[in-house]
Every structure is written in C-alpha cells, then in structure tokens.
Amino acid sequence: MISDVSEMTNAGCVQFCPAFGETTANIAKMVGFIENADLDLIVFPELATSGYEFKNRDEAFELALELDNGAEIAQFKNLSADTDTVLVFGFAERSGEKVYNSSALIEPDGSVTVYRKIHLFDQEKFRFDPGDRPPEVKSTKVGRIGMLICFDWIFPEVTRKLALDGAQLICHPSNLVLDLCQKSMFARSVENCVFTLTCNRTGTENRAGRELTFTGGSQILSTRGKTLAVASAEGEEVISAAIEPKVTDDKNLTSNNHILKDRRPEFYKGLE
C-alpha cells in the first residue's frame, strides 16, 4: 500500500492559450504562472509547450521535447525544486524515432514520471505514436497522482484502473474541442471517488486546413462531483482549490456500498 504523505493540498489548473510552435514563449509563460501561483500542485493543458494542430508527424517530431537531452525538462525540474511545486503538463515527446503526446509529472525531488496518451483523438492518430505503456500511479508529496490526457476521459477503464491502483488525484491535461468532457468528468470523479483536475486550453488554431476552437472550462471536481473551481470558456486563468487527498481512500458510498469492492467483474466479462 502506498502511504499518504499529505493532509491538505492547494491544487490548481493553469488554463491558457499556447501559441502554436512558440515553445520558448510558451514555456516562459508557464514559468511565470508557476512562479506566481503559490500552489502545491499545478496542472497545465495538453501539448502546453507546443500548441496542438500539427500539420503532420514531421512537424510534431520537430517541436517535440526530449526527456533526457533537453534544457526544457531540466528547467521545469529546477523550477519544481525552487518553488516546491508538483507540476503536470502536456508536451510532445520525442524518443528515438517515436513521437508521443505525453504528460510529465515533475516533483521537487527531481523525479519525472511520464504518461504517453494511449487513446489518440482524430488527426492525432496520424501525428503521434500511441502510448506504449499502462498509466501508472505516482505517490508524491501532494498525494497519489494518476494522469489522463484529454480524450482518455471517454474510456472509463483508464480512470477506473488508476483508482484501483490507489490514485487520489486524477490530473487531466486537455485540449478539448467538444463540449462533452467537462460534464462527463462528474461521473469519473463520483464512480471512482477521486478528485479530478481537468486543465483545458483556450483559443483557436487555424492550421492543417481546419479551424479548431478549444473550449476552456477547466475544472476541479470533488469525489462527490462537486465543482470546487471552474474557469471561463475563453479566459487565461488560474483556478485552484484546497483539497484533502485522503478522503478518496474511503470508498464507501453508503455503509453497505464500497464502490470498488461491490463490483461484480464476473458479470462484465468480455470488456477486452
């Protein structure tokens, strides 16, 4: 059993509009938010360092960051240590000949955990390699964190697996273009008794022959689906809430219903 290390966590989402291809400027903007936020945990959107609408795989590859060889990840590690803040952000990740739509979890002690998006959305299938490993739960100073990236929300199996593995906080960097996710995260939070932090971006990108408008509305939901903080549809905003990760460990909805132990998997065979 992974132990709890935190009582209260000041957790936030930085909703902003990355400029496509402007990695240096996007990172500078993220640094400014981190330095001024005074939070224990900060979640940024999906592909926060690069923007979203790559014309093709080559462009994604070119704008991707390398985990071990780049100054960028090192910069976030230093910043996490200097501000004692746990950071989660989406980025395009280059690894050998592969390019992934990834999320980094960076802790003040210098550790880096990466999740590679396993459910690619629409044109992403032509720009990225699909994630090649299962999502994991990382015990941090602010609680046990599991990551989803955007479209993963529509596969409830992912959040369920993270909850079964002990996740307390689901950090969910997103670039949402539909209006379905935010309402659905109510169910992900309640059915797993976890906090969910969906950090979306704002703005419009007009590239690759189509215009995409991102829907904002970043939100932090409680284990009972209560909206603890929510951002507007269009603004660049930091939202935050004081949350107590250990409340997620009581999975009893009533005195006779434990939401994980009451499952009857023998009747749901065939989900694979």
Footprint of ligand ACM (CB under 6 A) = 46, 121, 150-151, 175-177
Give the shortest CB-165-to-ligand ACM separation in angstroms: 22
- Active-site residue among 46, 72, 107, 124? 46
Give the shortest CB-201-to-ligand ACM separation in angstroms: 9
Does residue 117 have an active-site annotation? yes
Closer residue to ligand ACM, CB minimum distance, 76 or 151: 151
Does residue 261 have an active-site annotation? no
- Active-site residue among 117, 124, 181, 193? 117
Does residue 193 have an active-site annotation? no
Give the shortest CB-70-to-ligand ACM separation in angstroms: 23
Give the shortest CB-215-to-ligand ACM separation in angstroms: 10
Closer residue to ligand ACM, CB minimum distance, 76 or 121: 121
Closer residue to ligand ACM, CB minimum distance, 20 or 151: 151
Give the shortest CB-260-to-ligand ACM separation in angstroms: 27
Task: Compute the distance between CA of residue 239 and CA of residue 10 in angstroms, rounded to an integer.
Answer: 10
- Active-site residue among 13, 150, 171, 193? 150
HEC string for the chain = CCCCCCCCEEEEEEECCCCCCCHHHHHHHHHHHHHHHCCCEEECCCCCCCCCCCCCHHHHHHCCECCCCCHHHHHHHHHHHHHCCEEEEEEEEEECCEEEEEEEEECCCCCEEEEECCCCCHHHHHCCECCCCCCCEEEECCEEEEECCHHHHHCHHHHHHHHHCCCCEEEEECCCCCCCHHHHHHHHHHHHCCEEEEECCCCEEEECCEEEECCCCCEEECCCCCEEEECCCCCCEEEEEEECHHHHHCCEEECCEECCCCCCHHHCCCCC
Cβ-based neighbour number of residue 22 at 10 Å = 15
Closer residue to ligand ACM, CB minimum distance, 91 or 121: 121
Give the shortest CB-224-to-ligand ACM separation in angstroms: 26
Closer residue to ligand ACM, CB minimum distance, 99 or 150: 150
- Which amino acid, residue 237? E
Closer residue to ligand ACM, CB minimum distance, 20 or 121: 121
Catalytic residues: 46, 117, 150
